[in-house]
Amino acid sequence: MKRLVLGIVCCMYIPTLFAQSGTEISDDYVYTQKNTPKGVDNYLFSTYYYNGKKAYNLRGLPLCTAPGEVIDLKINPSGTSFALLTHKGSNALVSVHDLWLNNRTLHEFREMKNPTALCYTPDAKNLLITTPEELFFFDTRRFSMSDKMDMPFIASKMTVSGNGYYLAATDGRRLTVWNLEQKSVRKEFDFDAPITDMAFSADNDMFVVLTADGLLSVYDTQNFLILQSFDALGVAGSCSFHPDGKYLSVVTGDTRIALLNLMDDSNRNYVDNDEGGISDARFLRDGKKQIFLAYNTASSVTYKLMSALAPNYTKLLAEELNERMNDWMKMMPGETLEEYKLRVNDETRAEQMRLFEQEIATRMADNLIAVSDVSLGNYNTESNMLEVNFNTMPTIYLNVPVNEVNDFMDIGNLEFRNAKYGLTKQDKFELIYTEVYNKASGKTYVFNNLDRQSLTYLQSNDNFVPLELIQQSNMEEMKLRDIKEKIVDLAKRQNTISDHTKISVDARIVTDQDANGKKIMNYAINFAYEVEEGFSIQEDFAPGKYKADDSGAARSMLEVIKTAFDTDFKQYVKPGKKLQIRINGMADGLPINGRIAYDSIYGDFVGEPVYKNGDLSNITVTKDSGITENDQLAFLRTVGVREYIGKNLPALKEMNTDYRHDIEVTEGKGGKFRRITVEFIFMDAF
């Protein structure tokens, strides 16, 4: 155990030992606190807590002194501020404070009568506050009310799903889930025991409810029907999803946290701390994408590296499988429509998915037999089947004639060749094919389960996109390429770009579900470019430049976008329909010496929500401060694209459009790290 008073946690690599299922886990990084953390929240990897009238950061430094006893603390997901619910006598108050400047109050909701619960939406755009009768939505920038709805009970706890589709609220025993877009009820629950916590998974597919009788109920979010339940969870104090959705932490007592494997209910691990006082435990990811379990004790905040938790192989396999199938189903250069339909049909698609699945799972298993303890089990004299057991995988059976059984006396004589693996529903590897060579007899025995019902087929058909839509997408991608080629040729003639700039377009259909659980098809169109090294300064953003007009490559790509939506693709621009536009801006690691002037052409930005390397954060750029960091350059490059789209594609303003700014600052230096990409996702396009 390592005990620290001060430190920057996110820069650390914390080694740990993780024991087998059912045993205790040791080796912590402990951040000692003078005050007991009563309740906690986090912004990215940093933990904050409250005690009495004060809120504190991980270093134990007070952030503010509230007018009353702090009942709840919620950190703005963008990291700019935090909200407190406080009680002073019979009066309750919600106030918002600066997260980085001590004792700076940004707003007090004194007009709110008897607030009972609060939470932020995951996009940091709204702060939700309940009173005994109503739920109010407040803009987090100006603190003005943007919406409200009636409440059927006095809510004591609320949470919103990561995609913003669902709001869940409870008064302790009753629980209601709303479609947040339509403010309509999706599901109502009544529980026999008090509700202690609830949470949505990171992928928004699962919703869990924890009750004081030690029961955890897991629901799907399509129909909110129960999938499974876990019992014997003690006091069931709080819960947290692992980012990949495979594990869930549950505080089961004053000194213990259970780690549940949601894909294998027989696998349960524990974190114990004799110091006591544990009331909250949550999975956090650091800047290196390592997963930690952070929890409070009576006098500390503890971080434990969860490196030995197995990855969610099923999720990793599905992601790679979808990517490879998307490529495989595209029409190949020179391929005629007749040839394409012969190559890609329902039968060949299913077979190709099966082959890809086997290939991916086999690579992930990494020759698991080589590190397995192998033993021979029983022999069935009627079926001539010999058991071959592994300590890491399910048993397989070899067809061995009875007169050859004696050749298997020495397990060391067996060689397993050409092994292929699959994944079980429990996210464990299993052998589906191998050739077993017996050196004692020189004979080979084949175990063949390649025709097993694969993981892909066990999934719902809702994940399949109709082939006619795939073919339509392919045809439209070819139109995009034609548009691109014409504009690129024109840009080359005008010396805007040269052969050293490559613009790419990609169209694909993605299955999804809406806030009512209905299956929908989204149409995603991606535009990107690359400039060969050594030519970026001439054809792309030079160092310190951020306006779209500063990059010939960016201008050319944006012209492709404008032409596409002015012509063939304007059929997807429908008033009122949802559209997500994700703009990714990159900046390299070349240090900015001094200050780059910013003429405020796009306006000033203070605490603007933005995704940095995939995590929601915030950024400030003003005319007075100028540009001193590369992430500001990356952000302004995305804003320039947004301004171009708003000016040149006015029809998009009639859609329900949501912009997302993603920025990435690389360690590498050079023009190839100063690019932008744009993705349009037309929701429920078909």
Q: Return the amino acid letter for 89.
A: G
Task: Give helix 552-566 / helix 630-648 axis angle, nearest 10°.
Answer: 30
CB 607 within 8 Å of CB 106: no
Confidence at 289, pLDDT banded by 50, 70, 90: confident
Cβ-based neighbours of 79, under 8 Å, separated by 6 or more: 43, 44, 99, 616, 617, 618
Tell whether the model's pLDDT for residue 17 goes beyond 70.
no
Over residues 169-177, the mean pLDDT reads 97
Over residues 233-255, the mean pLDDT reads 96
Class at the top of the CATH hierarchy for domain 463-682: alpha beta
Tell whether the model's pLDDT for residue 672 goes beyond 80.
no
The pLDDT value given to residue 10:
35
SS3 state at 384: coil
SS3 state at 429: strand
Q: How far is CA 262 from the centre of its chain?
A: 17
Cβ-based neighbours of 181, under 8 Å, separated by 6 or more: 164, 165, 515
The tens digit of pLDDT for each residue in 319-349 reads 999 999 999 999 888 888 889 989 999 899 9
Nearest 5 degrees, angle CA 151-CA 156-CA 160? 75
The pLDDT value given to residue 458:
44
The tens digit of pLDDT for each residue in 585-618 reads 887 777 888 899 999 999 999 999 999 988 999 9
Closest CA to 440 of 398, 417, 418, 412: 412
Tell whether the model's pLDDT for residue 137 goes beyond 90.
yes
* Same fold: 1-32+192-309 with 463-682: no
Q: Return the amino acid letter for 519.
A: K
The pLDDT value given to residue 7:
35
What H or E segment, with its residue span, contains residue 328? helix 313-328
Least confident among 67-76, 460-469, 559-568: 460-469
Confidence at 455, pLDDT banded by 50, 70, 90: low
Centre a 10 Å sphere on the Cβ of residue 395 and count the other Cβ atoms it contains: 13
What is the total residue count of the chain? 686
Whole-number Cα distances in Å, 588 to 557, 626, 640: 20, 18, 18
Confidence at 25, pLDDT banded by 50, 70, 90: very low
The tens digit of pLDDT for each residue in 73-108 reads 999 999 999 999 999 988 999 999 999 999 999 999
The pLDDT value given to residue 16:
31
Over residues 118-128, the mean pLDDT reads 97
Closest CA to 510 of 518, 520, 501, 502: 520
CB 521 within 8 Å of CB 469: yes
The tens digit of pLDDT for each residue in 571-581 reads 999 999 999 99
Closest CA to 293 of 354, 330, 247, 261: 247
The pLDDT value given to residue 468:
81
The pLDDT value given to residue 217:
97
Cβ-based neighbours of 113, under 8 Å, separated by 6 or more: 131
Percent of the chain with pLDDT over 70: 93
The pLDDT value given to residue 271:
95
CB 521 within 8 Å of CB 511: yes
Least confident among 25-29, 84-88, 124-128, 300-304: 25-29
Tell whether the model's pLDDT for residue 6 goes beyond 60.
no
Distance, CA of 275 to CA of 300 (rounded, Å): 9
The tens digit of pLDDT for each residue in 409-453 reads 899 999 999 999 999 999 999 999 999 999 999 999 999 999 876
Over residues 216-239, the mean pLDDT reads 96
Phi, psi values for residue 379, rounded to 5°: -125, 125
Over residues 541-559, the mean pLDDT reads 89
Over residues 654-678, the mean pLDDT reads 84
Q: What is the mean pLDDT of the chain?
A: 90
Phi, psi values for residue 378, rounded to 5°: -75, 160
Q: Are strands 29-32 and 2-4 parallel, antiparallel or unpaired?
A: parallel
Confidence at 44, pLDDT banded by 50, 70, 90: very high
> What residue segments make up the domains of the chain, in order of their start?
1-32+192-309, 311-459, 463-682
Confidence at 535, pLDDT banded by 50, 70, 90: confident
Closest CA to 168 of 182, 154, 149, 187: 187
The pLDDT value given to residue 481:
86
In CATH, the number for domain 1-32+192-309 is: 2.130.10.10
